[in-house]
Amino acid sequence: MSDLSKRILTSLFLMSFVMLSFFYSFILIILLILVTMLSWIEFNGLIIKIFKGDEFKYKTFRLITRSITLIYLFIFSLIVFEAINHELPSHKLNLLYLIFICICSDVGGFVFGKTLKGKKLTRISPNKTINGSIGSFILPLFLVPMFLYILPDETISIFNLVVIAIVVSFICQLGDLFISYLKRKANVKDTGDLLPGHGGILDRIDGIVFAIPLGTIFLKFLTNIV
């Protein structure tokens, strides 16, 4: 089976669990616990590899990185849990929009990058191209017409939806580049090998884990001032 086939099948499998978590709280709780712990383990695995052989740096950053990443992942899980279980449907719809933006940003970057190729975006991640980055901004915009009719009134303007799509896509790409930078420093291709075609959990959610909390804050900020 090709890597692309594995990637597609794994994505469908993961999306089925994500969709089920919107309807069953126990699945959501299990999923968030697994994502938090596995991402935390993979992230700290990168840090250990980066500072391997330097006992002073390893001991200095060990407690700091473990504490900060665990707290951040806990906040991420809390935001997701609160949005899905909130009594107002608008919270769930907002989260769904942010998740779809992240997915489209990732798919857009992959498709545009593989199809159009072009100049490399940065040395941090040699596989990423400028055309791929542009695709990451373009594809999420196709969500705007659909969510224009299903999101609550306070976020219904086209301007809001477009700005949110661009900003969240940008955050996704930054998160992806940040994890790519750590992998490059750690001299590894993937954060793990749990997901066929993707690598580790952190390889799959590197953009989402940054985009959801920051995107939620930005969405609330934007809809309060516009």
What is the tens place of the pLDDT at every residue in 75-91? Answer: 999 999 998 888 778 88
pLDDT exceeds 90 at position 138: yes
The pLDDT assigned to 78 comes to: 93
pLDDT exceeds 90 at position 109: no
119: left (phi over 0), alpha (psi -120 to 50) or beta: beta
The pLDDT assigned to 211 comes to: 92
Residue 46 and residue 31: Cα distance in Å, rounded? 22
Q: How confident is the model at residue 53 (pLDDT cuts 50, 70, 90)?
A: low
Is 57 or 119 the better-scoring residue by pLDDT?
119
Give the structural domain span for 219. 3-225
Only one residue has tokens 């940054």, namely 210
Tokens of 3: 């890597």
Domain count, the chain: 1
Residue 9 and residue 225: Cα distance in Å, rounded? 41
The pLDDT assigned to 212 comes to: 92
The pLDDT assigned to 63 comes to: 78
For residues 58-63, give the mean pLDDT: 72
Residue 64 and residue 44: Cα distance in Å, rounded? 10
pLDDT exceeds 70 at position 152: no
DSSP state of 119: S
132-167-95-135 Cα dihedral, nearest 10 degrees: -20
Residue 22 and residue 83: Cα distance in Å, rounded? 10
Give me the percent of the chain exceeding a pLDDT of 90.
23
